[in-house]
């Protein structure tokens, strides 16, 4: 008897499998706009200097590799919470908010998913249509009932009215996943005014927001990008936030993130954190230490923090200029109007509006890799390749 005979093969991950396909591609002009990693002008995903310096200090000073606790590195948790909620957050002063360190933002999402299933049974979760594909599978795998609210219309434009309309019909008490900034995959963010309208419905329907905050610093700036999170924290008694250090600290493979819970009072937060520690113990036991120690060290040192902020700002500005550059490069092809949204979107990604068939043609004829949904990682672009990309887009659009 074969124990494994009935194990079927499933398709590769829609995003990570692109990395592999790109590496195997020998076309000299290949272009990787798939997975969301930042690349510099040399096409490398750099380790920020602030990270290198912090790592060097850690190597010199680290005395032990023993486990860190279930909630992870306490200094990391404290400093990351301040970065997300604001150094002067009343929630932190009142001990109503606390972070549990997780293996990356994905770990934070999984911890949140399991917390909802264990502790808030019967609550469904609502995702924007579209959203990061792993949101879809992660919550379903955790046993939650997943629903969708509209986010973009058929013309590839943000549809706030449809979103708000859908929210008014959501079951009371359900969870809504919101993207704090730099919406993945679309790059379309709500204005503050529209977000406030959404928040009114969230309150009226007594919905619980789970805010995915994976791109702090890539939209309008480190502090500016936190406004939606901080507004929710100020206006709602309870909130879940997942924070990732993959992109803004360039710590992708170190799997550094946190689930931040805001509770009605300090006593309730202790109850919730006891559950999180239990769930995390059964998922990964204790989180990996290195990335969190690096982040804690940077955020706790004025000089390193300043250096990191400058480096992050350089990345943000470079992506913004690549967005404008691509729209300019499309102009000679008569396509700058059609793709004007690329310059207006925020963060690493652009929902280009290219169809799956056009994405396939880009890949087959030009070795240009986008996610099948038409998402391009603008942060993977190279200023010298904008004309190549624009010409290829023009070809597949004709
Ligand atoms: C992405 O959306 O490309 C990134 O968040 C990386 C990932 O894990 O999918």
- Please list the pLDDT of the chain residue by residue as tens digits (398 residues): 999 999 999 999 989 999 999 999 999 999 999 999 999 999 999 999 999 999 999 999 999 999 999 999 999 999 999 999 999 999 999 999 999 999 999 999 999 999 999 999 999 999 999 999 999 999 999 999 999 999 999 999 999 999 999 999 999 999 999 999 999 999 999 999 999 999 999 999 999 999 999 999 999 999 999 999 999 999 999 999 999 999 999 999 999 999 999 999 999 999 999 999 999 999 999 999 999 999 999 999 999 999 999 999 999 999 999 999 999 999 999 999 999 999 999 999 999 999 999 999 999 999 999 999 999 999 999 999 999 999 999 999 98
Q: Indicate if 279 and 152 belong to the same structural domain.
A: yes
CA of 350 to the centre of ligand 1 (A): 13
100 lines ligand 1 (CB under 6 A): no
Quickly list H helices, the chain.
16-24, 49-61, 74-85, 90-93, 104-119, 133-141, 160-167, 192-204, 227-235, 266-283, 290-299, 302-330, 341-344, 356-366, 386-397
Closest atom of ligand 1 to 184 CA is: 2
Please name the residue that has the structure tokens 């419905």. Answer: 201
368 lies in a domain?
A: yes
pTM listed for this prediction: 0.97
Of 255, 274, 300, the residue at which a domain comes to its end is 300
Ligand 1: which of 12, 13, 14, 15 to mutate, most ligand atoms within 8 Å of CB? 15
Largest Cα span, the chain: 64
Give yes or no: residues 352 and 261 share one domain. no
Active-site residue, 39 included = no
Residue 342, domain member (yes or no):
yes
pLDDT (0 to 100) of residue 332: 97
Last residue of a domain, one of 276, 300, 324: 300
The CATH number of whichever domain residue 318 belongs to comes to 3.90.1150.10
State whether 240 and 317 are in the same domain: no
How confident is the model at residue 343, as a pLDDT?
97
Answer whether residue 274 is part of any domain: yes
Query: Is 56 inside any structural domain?
Result: no
Residues 179 and 150 in one domain: yes
Active site annotation includes 247? yes
The tally of domains found in the chain comes to 2
Expressed as residue numbers, the domain containing 333 is 14-47+310-397
CA distances from 369 to 55, 302, 322, 330, 378 (A): 33, 39, 17, 18, 12
Domain final residue, candidates 248, 267, 300: 300
What does the pLDDT read at residue 391? Answer: 98
Residue nearest ligand 1's atom 4 by CA: 36
Q: Find out whether the beta carbon of 132 lies less than 6 Å from any atom of ligand 1.
A: yes
Residue 305 is assigned to a structural domain of this protein: no
Do 286 and 346 reside in the same domain of the chain? no
Report the C-alpha gap between 239 and 231 in whole angstroms.
Answer: 11
Task: For residue 322, tell me if it sits in a domain.
Answer: yes
pLDDT in the model for residue 398: 84
- Decide: 15 in ligand 1 pocket, CB within 6 A: yes
Q: Which atom of ligand 1 is nearest to the CA of 36?
A: 3
Which residue's alpha carbon is at the smallest distance from atom 5 of ligand 1? 36
Tokens 């074969």, located at residue: 2
**Which one of the listed residues 39, 126, 132, 308 is annotated catalytic?**
132
Are residues 277 and 261 in contact, defined by beta-carbon separation less than 8 angstroms? no
Q: Which of 289, 227, 275 is nearest to 62 (CA)?
A: 289
| Angstrom distances, CA of residue 225 to CA of 8, 215, 392 | 43, 8, 33
On whether both 122 and 148 belong to a single domain, the answer is yes
Same domain, 20 and 89: no
Residue 94 lies in a domain: yes
Question: Is-catalytic flag, 132?
Answer: yes
Pick from 132, 138, 373, 377 the residue to mutate for probing ligand 1's pocket: most ligand atoms within 8 Å of its CB: 132
For residue 133, give the CATH number of its domain.
Answer: 3.40.640.10
Q: Are residues 236 and 104 in the same domain?
A: yes
Is the residue at 178 inside a domain?
yes
Q: Do 33 and 103 fall within a single domain?
A: no
Ligand 1 contacts CB of residue 102 (under 6 A): no
* Residue of 73, 114, 212, 225 with catalytic role: 212
Residue 295 shares a structural domain with residue 314: no
Residues 296, 317: one domain?
Answer: no
- Residue 265 burial (CB count, 10 A): 11
Distance 57 CA to ligand 1 centre (A): 29
350 and 293 in a common domain: no
Q: What's the pLDDT score for residue 188?
A: 98
């Amino acid at each position: 008897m074969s124990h494994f005979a009935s194990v079927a093969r499933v398709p590769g991950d829609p995003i990570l499998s692109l990395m592999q396909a790109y590496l195997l591609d020998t076309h000299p002009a290949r272009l990787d706009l798939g997975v969301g990693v930042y690349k510099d002008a040399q096409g490398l995903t750099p380790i920020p200097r602030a990270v290198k310096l912090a790592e060097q200090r850690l190597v010199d000073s680290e005395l032990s590799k023993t486990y860190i606790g279930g909630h992870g590195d306490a200094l990391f948790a404290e400093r990351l919470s301040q970065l997300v909620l604001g150094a002067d957050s009343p929630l932190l002063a009142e001990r109503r908010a606390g972070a549990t360190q997780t293996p990356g933002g994905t770990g934070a999402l999984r911890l949140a998913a399991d917390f909802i299933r264990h502790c808030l049974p019967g609550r469904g979760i609502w995702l924007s249509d579209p959203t990061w594909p792993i949101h879809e599978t992660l919550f379903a795998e955790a046993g939650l009932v997943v629903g969708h609210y509209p986010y973009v219309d058929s013309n590839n434009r943000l549809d706030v009215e449809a979103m708000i309309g859908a929210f008014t019909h959501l079951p009371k008490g359900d969870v809504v996943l919101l993207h704090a900034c730099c919406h993945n995959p679309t790059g379309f963010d709500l204005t503050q005014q529209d977000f406030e309208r959404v928040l009114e419905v969230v309150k009226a329907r007594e919905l619980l927001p789970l805010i995915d905050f994976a791109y702090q610093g890539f939209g309008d700036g480190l502090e500016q990008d936190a406004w939606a999170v901080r507004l929710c924290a100020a206006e709602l008694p309870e909130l879940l936030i997942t924070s990732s250090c993959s992109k803004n600290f360039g710590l992708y493979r170190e799997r550094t993130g946190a689930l931040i819970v805001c509770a009605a009072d300090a006593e309730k937060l202790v109850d919730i954190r006891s559950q999180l520690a239990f769930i995390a113990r059964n998922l990964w036991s204790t989180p990996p230490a290195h990335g969190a120690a690096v982040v804690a060290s940077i955020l706790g040192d004025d000089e390193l923090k300043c250096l990191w902020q400058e480096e992050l700002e350089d990345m943000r500005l470079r992506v913004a200029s690549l967005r404008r550059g691509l729209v300019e490069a499309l102009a000679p092809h008569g396509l700058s109007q059609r793709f004007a949204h690329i310059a207006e979107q925020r963060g690493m990604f652009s929902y280009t509006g290219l169809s799956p068939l056009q994405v396939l043609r880009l890949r087959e004829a030009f070795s240009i890799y986008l996610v099948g949904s038409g998402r391009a990682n603008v942060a993977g672009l190279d200023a010298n390749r904008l004309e190549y990309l624009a010409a290829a887009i023009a070809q597949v659009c004709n």
